[in-house]
Amino acid sequence: MNRLYNSMEPRVMDDDMLKLAVGDQGPQEEAGQLAKQEGILFKDVLSLQLDFRNILRIDNLWQFENLRKLQLNNNIIEKIEGLENLTHLVWLDLSFNNIETIEGLDTLVNLEDLSLFNNRISKIDSLDTLVKLQVLSLGNNRIDNMMNIIYLRRFKCLRTLSLSGNPISEAEDYKMFICAYLADLVYLDFRRIDDHTKELAEAKHQYSIDELKHRENLMQARLEEEQAQREELEKHKTAFVEHLNGSFLFDSMYAEDSEGNKLSYLPGVSELLETYKDKFVIICVNIFEYGLKQQEKRKTELDTFSECVHEAIQENQEQGKRKIARFEEKHLSSLSAIREESELPNIEKMILECSADISELFDALMMLEMQLVEQLEETINMFERNIVDMVGLFIENVQSLIAQCRDLENHHHKKLLEISISTLEKIVKGDLDEDLPDDLRALFVDKDTIVNAVGASHDIHLLKIDNREDELVTRINSWCTRLVDKIHKDEIMRNRRRVKEINQYIDHMQSELDNLECGDILD
C-alpha cells in the first residue's frame, strides 16, 4: 500500500513548487501568459493539483485561503498536516500515500469529498467536525474492526463509502452490516445499494440497531441538555450574574472554611445555618433576576441605538446618491457637448464649468458627511450617557443587595460567636450534655482559640462576598468601557472610509475631465 519513488528524492512543498503548479494548471492562452508575467496570488487559487511529485510533507499552503479542491494523491506523505487554513476546502484527495492516522482535518468544516484510498490507516476517527461529508474513500487500507462503521453513523450527509481492500471487507456480514448501520448510504464500494439489500440488512440487524438508536437518542438528549446549559450560562455571564440563581455563592463560602464546617456541629448551629442559607440564597436570586432584567434593558438600548445609527447612515447615503445621480446626468451631457464643440474658447469655458460642478459636488458630499458626523456624534453621546447611567444604577442596586448578604453574615457571625462562647462555658463547668466531634472539641481549649476560629470563618465568608462583588463591578465596567470605545472607533473608521470614497470619486471625475481636456486641446 505504500508509495515509494526511488528515482527521486523526497520533497517538501515550497514556494517554487507551488508557483510552478499554479502556473502549469492555469489558462495557457494569452490571459494565462499575462497571469504568469504578473503573478497569480495564491489566495485567488480555487483548485490545486500536486499529485505525483514525491511530496513527503505538506507545508506552505496557508496562503491558499480560498482553495476548494486539493489533489495530493500519489505522493509519499506520512502525516496529514498543514491544512488548517484551508477552511473553504470541499474536495481533498490524499490517496496513494503512506498515511497511518487520520488527523489534522478539524478545521475543514466544509469538506464534502475525502479520499484516503490506498494508505496505511487502521482506524476511522478524528473526522467529527466534517459534518458536510458526503463521499469517503478508504479502500485499500488496514481497517479490520467493524466498529469503525458505527463511528460513521454521525455523518448524516454521507452517501458514498468505499472500504474494499480492507480486512473488514472480507467479513461474511460486511455488506449487510454496513447497509444496516448506515441506512442512508447510496453507494458502497462504487456500487449502488438496491432497496432489497437494504430491507434484508435492516431485518437482519433490527434488534441491534433499535438498541443502538436508543443509546444514540439518550446521548443526543444529554448533549442537547449540556448545550442548553452552556447557552444559559453564557446568557447569565452576559448579565454578569452567573451562579447567583442558587446556593453557589453560599456553598463556596464554606468550601474552604474548615473552621466553619467544624462549628456547624455545635448544638443549635444547624438550625441557625439553615435559616442563614435560606435568606442568603433569596438575596442571591434577587440579584440574579434583577441582573437578567437589566441585561434586557441594556440590550434594548443598544439595539435602538444601532437602529438609529443605521437609519441615519442609510438616509445620508440616499441623499448622496441622489446628488451624484443628478451630477452624473448633467456631467455626461456636458462631456458630450465638449466632444462635439470645435471652438477652443468654448471648450475651455465648458471644461471650467464642469470642473466647477465637480467642486460643487465635492462640497455637497462633504457637507452631507459633516452633517452625518454631527448627527451620529450626538446620538453616540446620548447612548453613552444612557448606558453609563444604566450600568451605574445596576452597580448601585447590586451593591445594596450584596450589603444585605454582608448583614446576614455579620448577624450569623454574632449568633455563632454567642453559641460558641456559651458552649465553652458549659464545657468548663462540665454542664455540656451533647457529645462533640474530636476536631470540634479541640477548638474549645480556651476563649481565644474559639474566638479566633469563629473569626477566621467569618473572614473567609466576607472575602468570598467581597470578591464576587468586585468581580461583577469590574466586569460590567470593563464591558461598558469597551463598548463605548468600540462605538467611537467604529464611527471614526466609518468617517475615514466615507471621506476616502468621496475623494476617490471626485479625483476620478476630475481625472476624466483632465484627460478629455488634454485630448480635445491636442485635437
**What counts of helices (H) and strands (E) characterise the chain?**
12, 10
Q: Are 124 and 99 in contact (CB under 8 A)?
A: no
Q: pLDDT per residue over 437-454, tens digit each?
A: 888 888 888 899 999 999
The pLDDT, as a whole number, for residue 134 is 97
Q: Quick check: is 229 in a domain? A: no
pLDDT at 22: 87
Q: Is 480 domain-assigned?
A: yes
318 and 413 in a single domain? The answer is yes
50 and 151 in a single domain? The answer is: yes
- Is the residue at 332 inside a domain? yes
pLDDT category of residue 380 using cuts at 50, 70 and 90: very high
Which contacts (CB < 8 Å, 24+ apart) does range 118-124 have? Answer: 118/1, 118/165, 119/1, 119/94, 119/95, 120/1, 120/2, 123/148, 124/148, 124/151, 124/152
Asked whether residue 521 carries a pLDDT value surpassing 50, the answer given is no
The reply to whether 237 falls in a domain is: no
The mean pLDDT of 384-391, rounded to a whole number, is: 96
**501-515 residue pLDDT tens:** 999 999 998 888 887
Q: Is the pLDDT of residue 20 over 80?
A: yes
Residue 2 domain flag:
no
Strand-pairing partners, residue 188, are 161, 191
Give me the mean pLDDT over the 155-170 stretch: 95
Query: Average pLDDT of 186-199?
Result: 93
Domain, as residue range, for 343: 247-517
- Measured CA to CA, the distance from residue 126 to residue 492 in angstroms comes to 45
CATH code of the domain covering residue 75: 3.80.10.10
Angle between the N-to-C axes of helices 344-429 and 269-340, in degrees from 0 to 180, rounded to the nearest 10: 180
Percent of the chain with pLDDT over 90: 75
In 3D space, the residue among 230, 239, 242, 235 whose CA is nearest the CA of residue 479 turns out to be 239
Does a structural domain hold residue 235? no
In a domain, 311, yes or no: yes
The answer to whether residues 393 and 348 touch, using CB atoms and an 8 Å cutoff, is no
Asked if residue 25 and residue 146 are part of one domain, the reply reads: yes
Q: Which of helix, strand or coil describes residue 506?
A: helix
**Pairing between β-strand 187-188 and β-strand 191-192 as defined by DSSP bridges:** antiparallel
Mapping DSSP to helix (H, G, I), strand (E, B) and coil, where does residue 83 land? coil
- In a shared domain, residues 203 and 256: no
Tally of domains in the chain:
2
- Same structural domain for residues 306 and 398? yes
Rg of the chain (C-alpha set): 37
Residues 198, 311 within the same domain = no
Please identify, among 224, 259, 283, the residue that sits at the C-terminal boundary of a domain.
224
161 and 289 inside one domain: no
Place of cell 483548485: 47
435 shares a domain with 396: yes
Please report whether residue 319 resides in a domain. yes
At 382 the pLDDT is: 96
Average pLDDT, the chain: 91
- 57 - beta bridge partners? 12
Query: In the structure, what pLDDT confidence band is assigned to residue 364 with cuts at 50, 70 and 90?
Result: very high
